[in-house]
């Protein structure tokens, strides 16, 4: 039986920092079963502006926004 791919192979990353975060922080912290609750590049509207979160984790009662600041 083939093993499921790790989370870092399933979630897209648009920068080295995002890839490193998903590979070394998010993958060990989350079970693969919660993959459907993690969204990459999710649009969030606040007032008249739309922002893109690097990652969002949707739980039963709360959401966690994950925004990574790069080297620039």
pLDDT digits 0-9 by tens, 7-63: 888 888 999 999 999 999 988 888 878 888 999 999 999 999 999 999 999 988 998
5-20 tens-digit pLDDT: 888 888 889 999 999 9
What pTM does this model have? 0.79
What lies within 8 Å, CB to CB, of 4 at 6+ separation is 32
- Do the Cβ atoms of 11 and 22 come closer than 8 Å? yes
Residue 18, number of CB atoms within 10 A of its CB: 20
Neighbours of 21 (CB within 10 A): 19
Longest Cα–Cα distance of the chain, Å, equals 50
């Amino acid at each position: 039986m083939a093993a499921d791919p790790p989370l870092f192979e399933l979630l897209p990353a648009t920068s080295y920092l995002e890839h490193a975060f998903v590979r070394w922080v998010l993958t060990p912290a989350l079970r693969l079963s919660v993959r459907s609750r993690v969204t990459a590049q999710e649009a969030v509207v606040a007032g008249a502006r739309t922002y893109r979160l690097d990652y969002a984790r949707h739980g039963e009662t709360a959401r966690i926004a994950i925004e990574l600041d790069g080297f620039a």
